[in-house]
Amino acid sequence: MLVRAPESRPPRSIDYAARLVTLALPGRAAAKVDQARRDLSLLADAARGHRPAPVATLDTAVQCAPALSELDTLDALPGFLAGPAKSARRDVRVLVDALVYGRRPPPLVKRGARHRESGTAQVVPLAGSPSLTVSRRVKVVRVERETKDAVSLYLSEVDGHPLRFRAGQFMSVDVVVDGVRLRRAYSLAAPASGPGSDAPHITVKRVHEGRVSNQLNDHAHEGMLLDVLGPSGSFVLEPKPSGAARHLLFVAGGSGITPIVSLVATALHDEPEARVTLVYGNRAEQDVIFMDRLAALLAAHPGRLVVDHVLSDPSSAWEGARGLLDGATLGGRLDALGVQLGAVDQCFVCGPTPMMDAARALLLERGFEKGRLHEERFGQPEARTEARGATTPQPLTLKRGQSSHKVVVQPSQTLLDAALAAGEAMPFSCAMGGCGACKMICLDGEVAMEEPNCLSDDERAAGYVLTCVGRPCGPVTLTSGGSR
């Protein structure tokens, strides 16, 4: 039977009240309040004769209670009060940020040019206040140098609890450099299960003129606190029913190995019958991140893992494959390794844009199914198409439940920038089109987005847009779903 995802019903007073209470409670108590709120809602519905369908189908979608974390308690106020209250809150946050933490936002909320910083990172200048609505702090518990130009930062929640994540996901890290808050996405390189999963870490590769990557490479230290969002991202491997054997293919270039090594180790641990092939391109031996880790995985999983290092400029002593990892080289390596694409269940690719484009073209040309190809494309923002929206200010209407708010989007702003600047509580994480956290349904109007981004063909067909890389082409109405 086709099953439709549950939809959130419009928020009620009890939801806002619960949100207020949970803000003041620790995690476990908050979860109990949340559960009580859901139970009371169901009881109230039942008393009114509304019983949820036992199974949600395409025709009978369940309307579940909205997630508390998505509720803004100020939305409980009448419309004419909510707007000013949100503005005041934003101003207070900016003030506290400046006076208490010494973070001064730039005078203008302006999205600057994006620059490549590493294989999985890019720059997004932000106003000081918006990201404070959702960012949290994690602690650097260990710093380990991987290569001369790459460092791993081991992280835990500030309360000491382990960081939870899925293999292949990334964290958005905010760092203030010269008074400007900059955001980068760094993939978690640890496996999500099995040996090493208790030591989550991001790996940051230094790049030429990369302000954040250089700062973290030079100055990250044990005990340091980082402002982060996430983990997020959909570059993940969906589990196969236990016992199922499959062949997984991974192609990585440079620091694109960070999510890939997490996926490889997790798949080897979680799927004892799976076979894994990794083709990994770098310039020279000293540039290979995780050389030892990959060797350890090979030793731990004999006969199940193939790692093919391909170097474009190796030393004369190198005995492995040579060449720039372009389509011809990759095709040659797949042939040499005897990889039958027809027998590959899923393929994951992450690395520099030219390598990714070449891998994609080769795989599709050889008949590999598009739906089985997964790509992580954070690394090359300069190669992305710009979103060409309207050149004049456009109205944006945000529909949430029964309320709707109007915002004006300036030509220089994305939908997300404009909504945040107006004090709207907006979900987002990576702010670069890579995680889907800012996804909303476009009810009316047209939105131009930077491409490529993480939206699937199905999501596009369903009307989803990404507010973080979307610009209005005219008046636009968006909803977070459930009120379409």
Q: Which is nearer to ligand FES, 231 or 433 (CB)?
A: 433
- Cα distances from 55 to residues 5, 307, 341, in angstroms, run 11, 45, 38
Residue of the chain from 314, 433, 445, 472 that contacts ligand FES (CB under 6 A): 433
123 binds ligand FES (CB under 6 A): no
**What is the pattern of x (binds ligand FES, CB under 6 A) and - over residues 373-412?**
----------------------------------------
431 binds ligand FES (CB under 6 A): yes
Q: Which is nearer to ligand FES, 150 or 431 (CB)?
A: 431
Distance (Å, rounded) from C-alpha 229 to C-alpha 163?
12
Distance (Å, rounded) from C-alpha 447 to C-alpha 456?
16
Whether the CB-CB separation of 321 and 308 falls below 8 Å is answered with yes
Q: Which is nearer to ligand FES, 279 or 430 (CB)?
A: 430
Residue 82 CB contacts under 8 Å (≥ 6 apart), including other chains: 74, 75, 403, 405
Q: How far is the CB of 125 from ligand FES (least distance, A)?
A: 15
**What is the pattern of x (binds ligand FES, CB under 6 A) and - over residues 86-105?**
--------------------
**What is the pattern of x (binds ligand FES, CB under 6 A) and - over residues 455-484?**
-----------x-x----------------
| Residue written as token pair 């999500």 | 192
Residue of the chain from 213, 217, 262, 429 that contacts ligand FES (CB under 6 A): 429
Residue of the chain from 212, 307, 430, 478 that contacts ligand FES (CB under 6 A): 430
Q: Which is nearer to ligand FES, 186 or 368 (CB)?
A: 186
Residue of the chain from 435, 441, 447, 476 that contacts ligand FES (CB under 6 A): 435
- Cα distances from 145 to residues 42, 164, 202, 217, in angstroms, run 53, 23, 12, 9
Which listed range, 1-9, 142-150, 201-209, 431-439, lies at the site for ligand FES (CB under 6 A)? 431-439
Q: How far is the CB of 430 from ligand FES (least distance, A)?
A: 4
Q: 403 — phi, psi (to 5°)?
A: -95, 155
Amino acid in the structure at residue 217: N
Q: Which is nearer to ligand FES, 311 or 466 (CB)?
A: 466
Residue 60 CB contacts under 8 Å (≥ 6 apart), including other chains: 53
436 binds ligand FES (CB under 6 A): yes
Helix (H, G, I), strand (E, B) or coil at 145: strand
Which listed range, 104-112, 186-194, 199-207, 424-432, lies at the site for ligand FES (CB under 6 A)? 424-432
Which listed range, 42-50, 93-101, 256-264, 427-435, lies at the site for ligand FES (CB under 6 A)? 427-435
Residue of the chain from 16, 235, 250, 428 that contacts ligand FES (CB under 6 A): 428
Which listed range, 13-21, 32-40, 73-81, 436-444, lies at the site for ligand FES (CB under 6 A)? 436-444
Whether the CB-CB separation of 132 and 93 falls below 8 Å is answered with yes
Whether the CB-CB separation of 250 and 347 falls below 8 Å is answered with yes
Residue of the chain from 437, 440, 447, 465 that contacts ligand FES (CB under 6 A): 437
442 binds ligand FES (CB under 6 A): no
Q: Which is nearer to ligand FES, 126 or 278 (CB)?
A: 126
Q: How far is the CB of 172 from ligand FES (least distance, A)?
A: 8
Q: Which is nearer to ligand FES, 41 or 429 (CB)?
A: 429
Helix (H, G, I), strand (E, B) or coil at 376: strand
The Cα angle at residue 225 between residues 222 and 228, in degrees rounded to 5? 125
How many residues form the binding site for ligand FES (CB under 6 A)? 13
Q: Which is nearer to ligand FES, 173 or 454 (CB)?
A: 454
Residue 128 CB contacts under 8 Å (≥ 6 apart), including other chains: 94, 97, 98, 103, 104, 105, 106, 181
* DSSP annotation of 116: E
Q: Which is nearer to ligand FES, 65 or 447 (CB)?
A: 447
- Cα distances from 200 to residues 204, 270, 378, in angstroms, run 13, 17, 20
Amino acid in the structure at residue 126: L
3-state SS record for 235-267: CCCCCCCCCCCCEEEEEEEHHHHHHHHHHHHHH
Q: Which residues bind ligand FES (CB under 6 A)?
A: 428-431, 433-438, 454, 466, 468
